[in-house]
């Protein structure tokens, strides 16, 4: 990557999307081992939108609790800190996929499906391999392609050319991005993750989800997202922007220690869990992806 080229591109982006300040505060509280459920509830209760979303989500059929959950504090006790953060982060990122551009509405919606699918797949793989921080993998999967949203919204002319190259040459989107931008969505997403002050390993995993061998100490996390991306493409969950399925990197396969016989089990679990959470999230967040009239 040419650093000057990337900086020039970012310089054209006047206002990168931001997550709600409450989500930042929630992350800080969750990362503090001295925090309590009451501390977290206090922050969420100060944001009426997030409070309403959380209670609507926790009372949905996806969880199926026998009694209605009426308070944020009770929801936190039932679900745990990490699950709460993921629910709120997921719905907040969902909003970033909304927009009034009808031309890219369907493509943006498919990218959302792919990103959510990767989050689910990463969590399934993590559980299968008994990874210590499953929720961390979910976040990495959800945000791995966030750079494509920046391209769609802020580099629209360039993205139109990228789409044309992908269609005309039937090539990987990363190749088309390199031809048009001189960098890829991974580089742009990495910059955005750092601006959001997301904790390690998220920025590095976003940067290296196509090149896990370069992720250093975070190679296992990057390898997990690398496989999750490929599995979702194989299962036709949403769209990553092109119609091709890349080969699994030997470095990723070796880092995770999976066997060929594991694939069928993983793919079935991913497909089933994605169907469950996809209908749950979209029903609970409302028509966020509908273009404005």
Residue 51 CA to residue 63 CA, distance in Å, equals 17
Q: Are 121 and 141 in contact (CB under 8 A)?
A: yes
**Mean per-residue pLDDT, 217-235:** 97
Q: Has residue 207 got a pLDDT over 80? A: yes
Establish if 291 belongs to a structural domain.
no
pLDDT in tens, 169-198: 999 999 999 999 889 999 999 988 887 778
Establish if 140 belongs to a structural domain.
yes
Residue 257 CA to residue 253 CA, distance in Å, equals 6
Lowest mean pLDDT among 21-30, 40-49, 237-246: 21-30
Range of the domain at 80: 3-285
Establish if 112 belongs to a structural domain.
yes
Residue 103 CA to residue 80 CA, distance in Å, equals 40
Establish if 216 belongs to a structural domain.
yes
Q: Has residue 155 got a pLDDT over 50? A: yes
Pair of tokens at residue 73: 């504090």
Establish if 170 belongs to a structural domain.
yes
Dmax (CA) for the chain in angstroms is: 57
pLDDT in tens, 45-104: 988 878 888 888 888 777 788 889 999 999 999 888 888 887 777 777 767 666 656 667
**Tally of domains within the chain:** 1
Kindly report each contact of residues 178-183 with a partner whose C-beta sits within 8 Å and lies 24 or more positions away, as own/partner. 181/5, 181/9, 181/151, 181/155, 182/1, 182/2, 182/5, 182/6, 182/9, 183/1, 183/2, 183/5, 183/6, 183/9
Q: Give the CATH number, domain containing residue 148.
A: 1.10.3210.10
Q: Are 134 and 149 in contact (CB under 8 A)?
A: no
Global pTM reads 0.82
Establish if 195 belongs to a structural domain.
yes
Establish if 293 belongs to a structural domain.
no
Establish if 164 belongs to a structural domain.
yes
pLDDT in tens, 116-130: 999 999 999 999 999
Lowest mean pLDDT among 1-5, 170-174, 192-196, 264-268: 1-5
Q: Are 81 and 30 in contact (CB under 8 A)?
A: yes
């Amino acid at each position: 990557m040419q650093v000057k080229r990337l900086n020039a591109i970012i310089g054209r982006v006047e206002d990168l999307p931001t997550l709600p300040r409450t989500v930042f505060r929630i992350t800080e509280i969750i990362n503090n081992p001295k925090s309590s459920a009451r501390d977290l509830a206090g922050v969420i209760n100060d944001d009426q939108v997030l409070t309403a979303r959380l209670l609507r989500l926790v009372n949905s059929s996806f969880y199926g609790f026998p009694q209605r959950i009426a308070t944020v504090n009770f929801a936190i006790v039932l679900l745990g800190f990490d699950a709460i953060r993921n629910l709120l982060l997921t719905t907040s990122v969902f909003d970033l996929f909304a927009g009034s551009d009808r031309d890219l509405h369907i493509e943006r919606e498919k990218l959302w499906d792919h990103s959510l699918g990767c989050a689910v797949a990463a969590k399934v793989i993590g559980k299968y391999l008994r990874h210590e921080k499953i929720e961390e993998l979910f976040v990495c999967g959800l945000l791995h392609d966030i750079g494509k949203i920046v391209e769609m919204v802020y580099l629209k002319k360039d993205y139109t050319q990228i789409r044309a190259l992908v269609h005309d040459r039937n090539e990987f989107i990363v190749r088309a991005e390199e031809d048009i931008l001189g960098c890829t969505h991974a580089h742009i997403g990495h910059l955005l993750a750092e601006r959001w002050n997301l904790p390690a390993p998220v920025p590095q995993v976003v940067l290296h989800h196509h090149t896990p061998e370069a992720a250093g100490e975070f190679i296992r996390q990057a390898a997990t997202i690398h496989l999750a991306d490929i599995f979702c493409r194989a299962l036709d969950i949403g769209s990553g922007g092109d119609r091709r399925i890349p080969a699994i990197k030997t470095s990723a396969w070796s880092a995770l220690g999976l066997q060929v016989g594991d694939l069928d089990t993983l793919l079935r679990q991913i497909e089933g869990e994605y169907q469950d959470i996809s209908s749950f999230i979209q029903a609970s967040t409302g028509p966020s992806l509908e273009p404005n009239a």
